[in-house]
Structure 1
């Protein structure tokens, strides 16, 4: 059976404030054939001084349907892009935009 890619947009959104546990340096993908589950794993990006053994790791197990929804959501969000500043042509962030054509004033 084909896994559905349909999703509920509000359920997919990350709602601020977000306080990440760590910054991912490695991301991997695997598949457990016996359980028919996909695993996504991340490993912390460490500073040069940190010991490699101290890196935090997280594994997320998901069904095919969940992964297809995540893939569809990722495609949809990235295809929307960010709004473009009509003055300078650069992408605008939700918190404001430092526009060189407006002498750096926030808009």
Structure 2
């Protein structure tokens, strides 16, 4: 697979498949008939959204403003088929000053330590990478949707902050009593 680049994509979104507590998180980019879906952890989606917002606040000025992002809202579900091309282990984010765009890279292994935590079968293959280039307004819209997707899961326990299951959970802050 190697490098798959979307500069810019027709669509770039974060989404999930499955019920709360058992969701699989995806980043999905499409351009024309080409569709790439990669799976990753909930925390990776959350951190990516936060860092995009930080980067836009620091560098994009008015182009990354909320009103500009409101014009490119995408609340549609993930495109099908939803099959991950690879599992993301490393994300990188950059601001291209000349083009005034954000560059997001998702990799299947750490380029500084390619053998760390990677299945030996995967190591035999060529590294897989997805690169997405977004203007500030689309990056802000992506970050908003990603934050919404992350927060749509199980509500947090008011005592310990852990996720609440429909049947309750054993709360360490209440000496193990079910809440």
Residues 1:34 and 1:80: Cα distance change in structure 2 (over 3 Å): same
Indicate the structure with greater strand content: 2
Contact 2:74 2:145 in 1 (8 A): no
Structure 1 residues not aligned, in runs of 5+: 91-107
Question: How many pairs does the alignment contain?
Answer: 87
Note the residue ranges of structure 2 that are not aligned, 5 or more in a row.
1-61, 110-117, 156-163, 170-179
What residue number does 1:40 align with?
A: 104
TM-score, normalization by structure 1: 0.65
Please identify runs of 4+ aligned residues in structure 1 that moved more than 6 A. Answer: none
In structure 2, relative to structure 1, the CA distance for the partners of 1:85 and 1:15 (3 Å cut) is farther
For 1:9, which of 75, 89, 99 is the aligned residue?
A: 75
Q: Report if aligned partners of 2:154, 2:165 keep a CA contact under 8 Å in 1.
A: no
Structure possessing the higher radius of gyration over alpha carbons: 1
TM-aligned CA deviation for residue 44 of structure 1? 1.1
Counterpart for residue 58 of structure 1: 130
Q: Greater RCO between the two (CA within 8 Å, min separation 6)?
A: 2
**RMSD between aligned alpha carbons?**
2.5
